[in-house]
Structure 1
Amino acid sequence: MNTIRREQKAGIYMGFLSAAGWILVLICMFFLTPPEHYLLYFMLVIFLGFTEYFPLPVWKGSSSLSFPIIFSLDLVFGFPAIIFSYALVVMTVNLLHRRPLRIILFNPAQLVISYAAAKGAAVLFFSGGFFADHLVPMSELAVLIVLFYLINNFLVDIVLWIRPQPYRFSVWMQKWASEVFSAFISFFYISLMFFLGSQENRGNLDVFAAFFFFSPLVGLSLLSSTIARLKIEKNRLNAMFSFTKDLNQTVHTAEWKDGLTNHIQELFHAQAVFLIRKEGNWKFDFKDGMTADTDKPLESAHVGEIKDVLVIENRKKMSGPLDYYFHKGIRSVVYSPLTLEDDCIGVLAVGRTRTYSFEPQDIRSIATLANQLAVALKTKSLITEQKEKRVLEERNRIAREIHDGVAQTLAGAVMNLETAKKKFSEKPDEALLLMDRSLHGLRGGLKQVRESIYALRPKPTERVTLQEAIQKRVEIIRNQQTFSLDFEVRGNPFPMPLYVEKVMFDTFQESIQNTIKHGQATKAEVLLSYQSEHVLLKIKDNGQGFSLYDAILKSKNEPHFGLLSMNEEAEEIEGSLQIDSKPGEGTEISLTVPIEKMRGDEEND
């Protein structure tokens, strides 16, 4: 698999660079001499540790403000001392952060190589030696700083380019912007140090001067690190909000799984993810990335082991309950149960190709996603049950109507026909009367059967889109009526929930029927407009119009769709029905449905 090969290449590169860096450290150890000022040395090393422990976080790495302290250590105690101290401090910081061994070895190595290469290039570039007579011109200082940050970032960029995780240009620009900021602060701080000090005492920096001079740098490092981490958490919260919003809107559709996968990739840059759910038996809802191609059935015993969030930092040292569903290239995994009322209804598993790659905030975010998924899936299950219940209730209603209506009518007709048959020879008049009654009953029964069939038929908008259903109905009316009927569609049509399309189509059809039956219009216009915030349906005619007050009173007493029913249907879809009509001035009916209220629903009742 290409992902594994790229991870292997990145590992080889990191191993080679780590070996080179630590060889340099070992060589420098042979040239170490005891420092003349122990207290000053240890203070600078402690300050170096603070600036390295609280760096500016950037994507897949960090940028510290430690260069002025590194430069001062080199200037006062020499090149071997800074190489040894720098590597030791960075390694200690990585150990405190509990990073994987390859990172513990790589980070110090690439930093000391960057500094050694930058200093060597600067010495070669300027004649007379870099620190000749303790003279450090600003041009030489600028070259050293620029070379250090260029080389350091280039070495890190190579790893990020080789790895299979996406490394976008925008992220690269963000990282370099942070590095440029660090380089500027370093140049300013070191320049200030030489400006404030005299040429003779630059090499004799005392403890108190070092403390007061570098304390603001440490404070700036702490403050910048805190602000940057808060910004990262803010972005993470925004991503989580976007995820939960999209999940609630799409969980009832077939595309919700694709959206979930995309959000997980955006949040965690995972190489493998799957979701299993309990529906009678345990089954996969979806699998994506480096998951194993196996037919091994899910077992309740294994899934039952996941009582709480389970983190597998290194699969070679610790196995997980569902290991056989991940490709062997996945090195670390987080299992998070989907729990509702102490009942586990599913498990979300996220894997990466690197060991110890999940930070605490990643684990908390995965657990939050799992909790949100549990609620959304439970809601989806309840909605499905409600729809099934509605279908069952509708079937029972139709069965009762058939039993109480058509069946009773047919039974009465059969009894009348049987009685007429017996009386036909003796009392033909009574027999004919019974036959007429039976015929009337059968016709009524036929009407009821047709009404039941119509109730069971799909609505026009279930077979085609709303605009197509209206267009088809307009063509039928044009062929049957003599007045002019125009239909216009504006904007970019998009699918809406079927129950919304049904109400809009029924409103159109009832309005046109009222125009034909009562309006005495010669022309009608229908507009269907898809706008940025709502969808508008407008029917306007040049008929005789009517009094809205009188029509509402009439609608209360007549068992048909009517104005009140049209308004009730509009309220059910959270739409707004507006009727503008006066006697002799025609009628305009507008139905407005907000897009925000119906986004995400794609199935009607």
Structure 2
Amino acid sequence: MKDVNFIFIREKIASSYLYFISFLGLITITISLLEIKIPSHSTILILLLIFMGIAEYFPVRFWRGTSSLTFPIIYAMSWQFGIHITIIAIVLVTLIIHLHRRSPIQRMLFNSTQHALSLILAEWFSNKCMHLLINNIDMSVLYENLISLLLFCVFFCFFNNRFYDLLMILLPQPYSIYQWYKKTVTVFLCETFGFSYAALMHVLISKYSVEVNEITVLFFFFPLVAISVISSFSVRIRMEKERLYELFLITTEISRGLTGGNLKHIKQALKGFFGIQAYGIWTKDDGNWNLLLKDGKVHFDISDHSEKFEGISKNLVFNDWKTGTAPGDEIFDSVIRSLVYFPLIVNDELVGMFVAGKSRTAGFFPEDVQSLATFSNQLANVVKTRILISEQEKRMILEERNRIAREIHDGIAQTLAGVIYQLESAQKKYRDKPIDMQQIVEKSIKDLRGSLGEVRYSIYALKPYPTQQLGLKQAIASKIKSLKQEYELDITYHERGHARALSFSKERAIFDTLQESLQNIVKHAQADKTDVLLSYQSEHVLLRVKDNGVGFSLFESMVKTKNEPHYGILHMNEQAEQLGATLQIDSSVGKGTEITLLIPDSQTRGA
């Protein structure tokens, strides 16, 4: 509450300052209107007025403002026609430009009267200083004009910028020393150029006795206006280039998805994005609004106001925002003065909301709004994709649950029900026939073992695969470590070449082949030494498992495993065929076994 009161007090002080400067400026303008005399060379005045308007309309933009190259024209008009006509001219030009740009009335009034007040003060102080210098120092007309120009330039620049700086200090919005420095350097460079250009006018007139007429004014000030227009367009192009680059960076981050880890990168990229000082991003899923991201001058708990976004169907811009004038605006600090709302709409469906704010009134230029709208469109598509993926995952989970339920119902449940029925029937029917009873019990045990195998397989299938959970290298290391600890085997593992990412199917085939080979060694080989090699080659990935055990007959093993196609040698061979790989088994009784899996995988193509 204290912060709100403090901000309110500062706003009142700043508003009083604005009205005070405007009042003094209006007095200056009124006096100038009364003191105006009809000029003898009206064509020159009109030319200067046109040049002034063009130079003022194409300023050099910097942080939180602009600086024009109008000073030489202002000085020339003051030198030729007097300060009062110059004041009316600059006020008229400023008003027309602000009206064309639809600026707030308060800003339009302040800027106009600020120029008028700065001009009259610069004229008065420079005249006073010149009187002191002329009385004490004898100098030529050229030097007198140059010193008068320098004094007028210094005082005009000083008053014009101090009026602006004082307003920025009084406003509750932050105005750092760095921001002041950046603005001051830009203004200093513009005014230095303006002084040099105006000084050139005096030098040319003094050296070549040039007569001031329409032709000389046109030829002398036309390059200045051209420089002003070109520099303005150059700055705009540079800013547009930076804007597009920023937009490219942020949209690149967004296109990577809205996962928890990537949100940190998006938040970092949004810092200072087009000068944004506060923002919030919401998503709407199943009618519920959820805060996705926030930063800057926003309140800690901002979720209670998101339901007010429902009525927003198009982009909204608030140039002079105060709490309560915009939907859900309670989320922002009172220091924020400009707000823009961008509904995230895909196929006429509202899927989210992006709201951004700046501390300056009318802080969002039209090009800023266009760029942010482009960003919002990209964000809307990503949010919609995220919602669709979430819905697909829910459907997949539901389908998987239904599948498991069907398998349990049609498989395990039916088997168990049948076994129970058989046992109950046998109990009643074969009380006095132990041999028949024994056969039924054996059959029931066999059926139960089969059901147990199905249950274990279903449980195994539901678990995440080790290569997905740990990665291929870690999964292999974990498997070897567990077998070493459990069976005290001597297993040596080697890896050659540069490891690279493989597809899940290739990693699974490698791990399954390794796992099956090691299990066979444990169960049947009676080996005391095993070597495992994983080699990343330029065109292939090779797995070789070699032991010094008792070996076996491959033909007998193939016949034995025909009834178990999902496991053992047949399973390894099926996986290899699906990948276009080669599975080679070299073994003979008493000479150990060597299993080699060669999977095509070009290093240039990757997985």
TM over 0.5: yes
Greater Cα offset, 171-180 or 57-66: 171-180
Q: In 1, distance between residues paired with 2:544 and 2:127?
A: 85
2:216 matches 1:209: yes
Q: Which residue does 1:239 correspond to in 2?
A: 246
Does the 8 Å CA contact 1:578/1:591 hold for their aligned counterparts?
no
Q: Which residue does 2:227 correspond to in 1?
A: 220
Q: Which residue does 1:571 correspond to in 2?
A: none
Of the candidates 252, 258, 264, which is equivalent to residue 251 of structure 1?
Answer: 258
Deviation of 1:43 after TM superposition, in Å, equals: 1.6
Counterpart secondary structure, 2:345: strand
Of the candidates 189, 195, 199, which is equivalent to residue 197 of structure 2?
Answer: 189
Q: In 2, distance between residues paired with 1:447 and 1:304?
A: 54
Does the 8 Å CA contact 2:22/2:110 hold for their aligned counterparts?
yes
Deviation per CA, 1:140-167: give whole Å up to 9, x if none. Answer: 7567656755765565456556666666
2:396 matches 1:390: yes
Of the candidates 512, 515, 520, which is equivalent to residue 513 of structure 1?
Answer: 515
Q: Which residue does 1:370 correspond to in 2?
A: 376
> One-letter code of the match for 1:225?
S
Distance 1:89 1:23, change over 3 A: same
Q: Which residue does 1:411 correspond to in 2?
A: 417
Distance 1:232 1:171, change over 3 A: farther
Deviation of 1:543 after TM superposition, in Å, equals: 5.1
> One-letter code of the match for 1:128?
I
2:91 matches 1:87: yes
Counterpart secondary structure, 2:343: strand
Q: Which residue does 1:437 correspond to in 2?
A: 443
Counting only pairs closer than 5 Å after superposition, residues 275-314 of structure 1 correspond to structure 2 as: 275=282, 277=284, 279-280=286-287, 289-290=297-298, 305-314=311-320
Of the candidates 482, 495, 499, which is equivalent to residue 490 of structure 2?
Answer: 482
Counterpart secondary structure, 1:62: strand
- Which ranges of structure 2 fall in alignment gaps of 5 or more residues? 522-526, 548-565, 587-592
Of the candidates 55, 59, 84, which is equivalent to residue 59 of structure 2?
Answer: 55
Distance 1:84 1:273, change over 3 A: farther
Deviation of 1:206 after TM superposition, in Å, equals: 0.7
Q: Which residue does 1:103 correspond to in 2?
A: 107
Deviation of 1:60 after TM superposition, in Å, equals: 1.5
Counting only pairs closer than 5 Å after superposition, residues 133-152 of structure 1 correspond to structure 2 as: 133-135=141-143, 152=160
Q: Which residue does 2:571 correspond to in 1?
A: 559
Distance 1:83 1:588, change over 3 A: farther
Counterpart secondary structure, 2:340: strand
Deviation of 1:104 after TM superposition, in Å, equals: 1.6
> One-letter code of the match for 2:111?
N
Q: In 1, distance between residues paired with 2:577 and 2:408?
A: 25
Q: TM-score, normalised by structure 2?
A: 0.72
Does the 8 Å CA contact 1:511/1:539 hold for their aligned counterparts?
no
The aligned length equals 560
Deviation of 1:383 after TM superposition, in Å, equals: 0.3
Deviation of 1:371 after TM superposition, in Å, equals: 2.7
Deviation per CA, 1:77-123: give whole Å up to 9, x if none. Answer: 23344344333322332232221233223334544565666674697
Distance 1:316 1:432, change over 3 A: closer
Counting only pairs closer than 5 Å after superposition, residues 297-376 of structure 1 correspond to structure 2 as: 305-314=311-320, 319-322=325-328, 331-376=337-382
Does the 8 Å CA contact 1:118/1:147 hold for their aligned counterparts?
yes
Greater Cα offset, 304-313 or 290-299: 290-299
> One-letter code of the match for 1:50?
I
Deviation of 1:53 after TM superposition, in Å, equals: 0.8
Q: Which residue does 2:462 correspond to in 1?
A: 456
Deviation of 1:67 after TM superposition, in Å, equals: 1.7
Greater Cα offset, 59-68 or 427-436: 427-436
Deviation of 1:72 after TM superposition, in Å, equals: 1.1
Q: Which residue does 1:74 correspond to in 2?
A: 78
> One-letter code of the match for 1:61?
G
Distance 1:414 1:218, change over 3 A: same
Deviation per CA, 1:429-457: give whole Å up to 9, x if none. Answer: 33222222221221222122122222333
Distance 1:10 1:562, change over 3 A: farther
Counterpart secondary structure, 2:571: coil
2:453 matches 1:447: yes
Does the 8 Å CA contact 2:342/2:353 hold for their aligned counterparts?
yes
Deviation per CA, 1:356-391: give whole Å up to 9, x if none. Answer: 443322333343343333322221111011111111
Distance 1:158 1:165, change over 3 A: same
Does the 8 Å CA contact 2:576/2:583 hold for their aligned counterparts?
no
Deviation per CA, 1:32-91: give whole Å up to 9, x if none. Answer: 443332221222122111100111222211121212212211222233443443333223
Q: In 1, distance between residues paired with 2:95 and 2:323?
A: 23
Q: In 1, distance between residues paired with 2:503 and 2:178?
A: 42
Does the 8 Å CA contact 2:285/2:387 hold for their aligned counterparts?
no
Distance 1:478 1:15, change over 3 A: farther
Q: In 1, distance between residues paired with 2:290 and 2:212?
A: 68
Does the 8 Å CA contact 1:87/1:112 hold for their aligned counterparts?
yes
Q: In 1, distance between residues paired with 2:306 and 2:600?
A: 54
Q: Work out which of the two has the higher radius of gyration on C-alpha atoms and give 1 or 2.
A: 2
Q: Which residue does 2:7 correspond to in 1?
A: 4
